[in-house]
């Protein structure tokens, strides 16, 4: 039922990009994007594996245990898997497998106040690496340590927790060939009860988001996750990008417009938990764009030909995109997701 590799990166796209990068040293901006990936420390085949000694990982403000190690290793596993696909250098494949095996053989549980974020964000990078490598040995660890933490989403929290769980469950569904898990995440994206449901996160037709009144870092986190979820579904023949009259595009345009220095409408909104009620849009983090825009731009303008002027300006201001903050997103979107039709 599922196409492989088919989470964030498809075989067709990776093979096209590998060929493109070898022709006359490759065109820009993809060559610059590849340089960003290649030069990042977590892309090195010499990466020192941090895992192997943590049966429990705890993510909590006052008590982190193995959290930083899992986050950094997750980035390195994904980035080395990408480097193997793009260069054919076996050392990168061996490093990514070593990371997956180290954590897969030791990790039993993920705990702490922020356990859903740890399982979703770090697990997402690891399952993408496992998918690229066809490393079935990581399946047991996913079902034991990661999926139990995210399977019921995070209905008690701000929406970026929920959106992280959605993308993680979609990715696991593809890798494991688990249609029920995949369908559960698709249904939640459309009709879930928490703040991460598309229309609970992008709350209205103007594009205002549930966390727009909180800060601009978290709202970009949330819409970035939703785009990654939509990209996974698209790679499996399901269109979540256009759901609810392209509500996600409106969220990207609203957020990009505000973070590019322009004003946007705002209405006071109490979230689905009843705990979060911000009276005005937040200026905290305003203007600090995150590398989430190339993926959305490629779909809405590149694939569909729809106008996304503010998303374009945001993407172009960051081009070529580099690594994301910690393990929040795949990063390197110019290299991985920008296509020729999206370049002007």
| Residues near 332 by beta carbon (within 8 Å), at least 6 away in sequence | 33, 36, 37, 82, 291, 320, 321, 322, 323
Burial 225-235 (b: 16+ CB within 10 A, else e): bbbbbbbbbbb
* Structure confidence at residue 340 (pLDDT): 78
58, 143, 161, 224 from 113: Cα distances, Å: 8, 20, 12, 23
Domain boundaries, the chain: 32-185, 199-344
* Structure confidence at residue 239 (pLDDT): 98
* Structure confidence at residue 167 (pLDDT): 99
* Structure confidence at residue 62 (pLDDT): 87
Average pLDDT of each block of 10 consecutive residues along the chain (344 residues)? 96 93 82 96 98 96 94 98 97 98 98 98 98 98 98 98 99 98 98 98 98 98 98 98 98 99 97 97 98 98 97 98 98 94 62
Q: How big is the CA angle at 97 (ends 91 and 102), to the nearest 5 degrees?
A: 125
* Structure confidence at residue 218 (pLDDT): 98
Measured CA to CA, the distance from residue 209 to residue 186 in angstroms comes to: 20
């Amino acid at each position: 039922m599922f196409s492989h590799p088919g989470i964030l990166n498809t075989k067709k796209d990776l093979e096209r990009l590998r060929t493109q990068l070898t022709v006359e040293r490759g065109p820009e901006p993809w060559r610059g994007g590849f340089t960003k990936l290649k030069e990042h420390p977590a892309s090195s085949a010499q990466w020192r594996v941090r895992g192997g000694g943590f049966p429990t990982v705890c993510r909590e403000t006052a008590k982190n245990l193995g959290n930083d190690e899992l986050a950094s290793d997750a980035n390195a596993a994904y980035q080395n898997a990408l480097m193997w696909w793009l260069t054919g250098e076996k050392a990168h494949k061996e490093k990514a497998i070593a990371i997956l095996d180290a954590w897969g053989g030791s990790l039993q549980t993920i705990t702490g106040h922020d356990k859903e974020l740890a399982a979703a964000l770090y697990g997402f990078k690891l399952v993408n690496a496992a998918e690229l490598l066809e490393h079935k040995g990581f399946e047991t660890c996913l079902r034991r340590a990661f999926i139990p933490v995210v399977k019921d989403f995070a209905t008690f929290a701000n929406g970026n927790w929920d959106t992280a769980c959605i993308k993680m469950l979609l990715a696991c569904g593809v890798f494991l060939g688990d249609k029920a898990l995949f369908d559960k995440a698709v249904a939640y994206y459309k009709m879930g009860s928490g703040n991460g449901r598309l229309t609970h996160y992008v709350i209205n037709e103007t594009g205002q988001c549930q966390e727009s009144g909180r800060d601009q870092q978290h709202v970009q986190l949330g819409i970035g996750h939703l785009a990654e979820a939509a990209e996974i579904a698209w790679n499996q023949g399901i269109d979540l990008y256009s759901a609810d009259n392209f509500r996600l595009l409106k969220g990207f345009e609203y957020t990009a417009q505000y973070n590019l220095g322009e004003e946007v409408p705002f209405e006071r909104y109490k979230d689905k938990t009843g705990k979060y009620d911000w009276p005005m849009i937040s200026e905290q983090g305003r203007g600090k764009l995150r590398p989430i825009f190339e993926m959305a731009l490629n779909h809405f303008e590149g694939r569909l030909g729809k106008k996304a002027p503010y998303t374009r300006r945001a993407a172009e201001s960051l081009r070529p995109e580099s690594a994301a903050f910690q393990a929040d997103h795949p990063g390197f979107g110019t290299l991985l997701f920008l296509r020729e039709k999206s370049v002007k």
